[in-house]
Amino acid sequence: MTNWREIYESDCALPAGRRLDDLIAELVDALGDPDPEVRDGYPYAVLDTWIRRGVIDGDRRLALGDLMAERFTDPRIQARTFAPLVLKMIVSQGCLRAEWLDAFAAWYRSETDLRGRDGKLGWLHAVAHGADLLGACGLRPETDPERLLGLAAERLLATTDHLFAEREDDRLAKAVALVLTRPDLTPERSTAWLSEIGAALAPYERGPIPVWASNTVRTLRALYILADLGVSADRGGRPVPLSCGDAVKAQVAAVLRPLLP
């Protein structure tokens, strides 16, 4: 078995005498491993580095993206939830196929296992990992931003008993904010997706609210802050204003105001 820690500590240099395709195949297996040290450790870091540096070239990135899109129907939860992270790496380098987005959307709106961190499997984080891919797709000019905003709304409105406890709300709010930086968005296109959310939350103006509604309210609160301050795709990067930030803030406030005590 490949010593991925050794490769990582060698500045991710390709090991002598090894075929890149064989190493990629081994990484693909590692990304579905139930052991979090294997799946989320050195193999993950090496893959990220190889994609960013172009060691894994365009054709190989496309093939890897196809494999990750297939993972959205994998019976293993850890395989499904790590697929969007790999696709985010690939999309961020400029590769995106329509069928990847279709497979992602079908999975993201319907995934029911929303655990953040499992005691044995480690990080699963379907909502947060999917949000990272949603945000990366939203920055690509070939995608339809309204479709992605609608997908975020579907994820929020899906019935669940899982309360966001591992910053899923922040990650999803950031993804939505990144989509909302698109220069082709008008105030109407930036806020239309909030209408369905407002209608779904309206019955809970008084009394207790279900878990999905609590998740949604907290996500929108985080979005309000990002609409006010701007959002950065990279940690520590310069915040970029939302294209129609004032309109987004006004509509988010209108949705949330009836639920405020």
Say if residue 235's pLDDT is above 90: no
Q: Are residues 101 and 170 in the same domain?
A: no
Computed over every residue of the chain, the mean pLDDT equals 96
List residues bridging with 122 in a β-sheet: 118
In the block, which residue shows the tokens 């409105």?
157
Between CA 129 and CA 155 the distance in angstroms is 13
Q: Are residues 128 and 17 in the same domain?
A: yes
- Cα→Cα distances 162→105, 129, 206, Å: 20, 16, 22
- Read off φ and ψ for residue 195, nearest 5 degrees: -60, -45
Please state the separation of Cα 8 from the chain's center in Å. 25
- Cα→Cα distances 17→20, 29, 98, 136, 236, Å: 10, 21, 36, 35, 38
Q: Are residues 136 and 63 in the same domain?
A: yes
pLDDT on residue 17: 92
Q: Are residues 181 and 72 in the same domain?
A: no
The CA angle 79-237-53, to the nearest 5 degrees, is 55
What mean pLDDT do residues 186-210 have?
Answer: 95
* Last-in-domain residue among 108, 142, 176: 142
Q: How many domains does the chain contain in total?
A: 2
pLDDT on residue 240: 96
- Cα→Cα distances 13→6, 55, 139, 247, Å: 10, 9, 30, 48
pLDDT on residue 206: 85
At 212, the pLDDT band (50, 70, 90 cuts) reads very high
pLDDT on residue 74: 98
Are 228 and 245 spatial neighbours (Cβ–Cβ below 8 Å)? yes
Q: Are residues 227 and 252 in the same domain?
A: yes
Could you tell me the two tokens for 124?
């699963």
Q: Are residues 151 and 124 in the same domain?
A: no
Q: pLDDT per residue over 33-83, tens digit each?
A: 999 999 999 999 999 999 999 999 999 999 999 999 999 999 999 999 999
What mean pLDDT do residues 181-195 have?
Answer: 97
* Last-in-domain residue among 84, 109, 142: 142
Q: Are residues 130 and 191 in the same domain?
A: no
Amino acid in the structure at residue 246: D
Say if residue 110's pLDDT is above 90: yes
**Domain of 134, in residue numbers:** 1-142
185-204: b (≥16 Cβ within 10 Å) or e: beeebbbebbeebbebbeeb
Could you tell me the two tokens for 170?
């922040």
At 207, the pLDDT band (50, 70, 90 cuts) reads confident
pLDDT on residue 157: 98
pLDDT on residue 162: 97
pLDDT on residue 234: 84
Element (H, E) at 123: strand 122-123
At 229, the pLDDT band (50, 70, 90 cuts) reads very high
What mean pLDDT do residues 145-170 have?
Answer: 98
Amino acid in the structure at residue 183: P
Q: Are residues 101 and 130 in the same domain?
A: yes
Nearest C-alpha neighbor of 96 from the set 52, 154, 138, 147: 138
Q: Are residues 161 and 136 in the same domain?
A: no
pLDDT on residue 187: 98
Rg (CA), the chain: 19
What mean pLDDT do residues 227-253 have?
Answer: 94
* Last-in-domain residue among 104, 124, 142: 142
Are 213 and 162 spatial neighbours (Cβ–Cβ below 8 Å)? no
pLDDT on residue 1: 79
Say if residue 131's pLDDT is above 90: yes
